Amino acid sequence: MDRDKIVEFLNQDLSGEIEAILVYMRNATIALGEACKAGHDMEEIAFDEMRHAEWLADLIVELGGKPAMTHRELDFGGNSVRDFVRRVVELEKEAIAMYKEHIAAIDDEKVKEKLQHILREEEWHLAEFEELLEEL
C-alpha cells in the first residue's frame, strides 16, 4: 500500500478521534453538571482519545502527510445521560470496525502496531461504556 493511501486511512482515523473527543467532552461537561459518574468516565476516555489523535497526527506527518483536522457533523446522542452513553457506545463500535479494517489493509508494520494498540484501548473503552450503560 502506498504512503498516500495509508495517510488517507490515518486521516479517517484521526477524524473519528476528533469527533469522539468533541462529543465526549461536551457530554461529560453536562453529565458532570448533574454530578454523574458517566461524566467522569467520558472525560477520562476523551483524554485517551486525545492521545490517540496525537499519535495518528504524528504518524501522518512521519509519512509525509498533513493531519486533516476534520470531523462529521456532531451527533451528541440526545438529551439524557443515558442517551449520551448510548451514543458513545456507537462511536466506539464505529472506531473499532474502522481500525480493524485499516489494520487489515495496511502493510506498514509500525503503523499497524500503533493502530493495534489504539484498537485495544477502543475495545476497553467500549467495555467500560457498555458496563456504564447497564448501570444507568
> Kindly report the CA angle at 91 between 89 and 95, in degrees rounded to 5?
115
Are 61 and 101 a contacting pair, CB within 8 Å?
A: no
CATH number at residue 27: 1.20.1260.10
Q: Is residue 78 left, alpha or beta, with left meaning phi > 0 and alpha meaning psi from -120 to 50?
A: left
Q: What is the domain extent for residue 109? A: 3-135
Domain count, the chain: 1
pLDDT band at 57 (very low <50, low <70, confident <90, very high): very high
Residue 16, burial from CB neighbour count under 10 angstroms (0-12, 13-18, 19+): buried
The model's pTM? 0.93
pLDDT digits (tens, 9 = 90+) for 80-114: 999 999 999 999 999 999 999 999 999 999 999 99
> What's the mean pLDDT when you consider all of the chain?
94
Q: Which residues of 48-71 are buried (b: 16+ CB within 10 A; e: fewer)?
A: bbbebbebbbebbeebebebbeeb
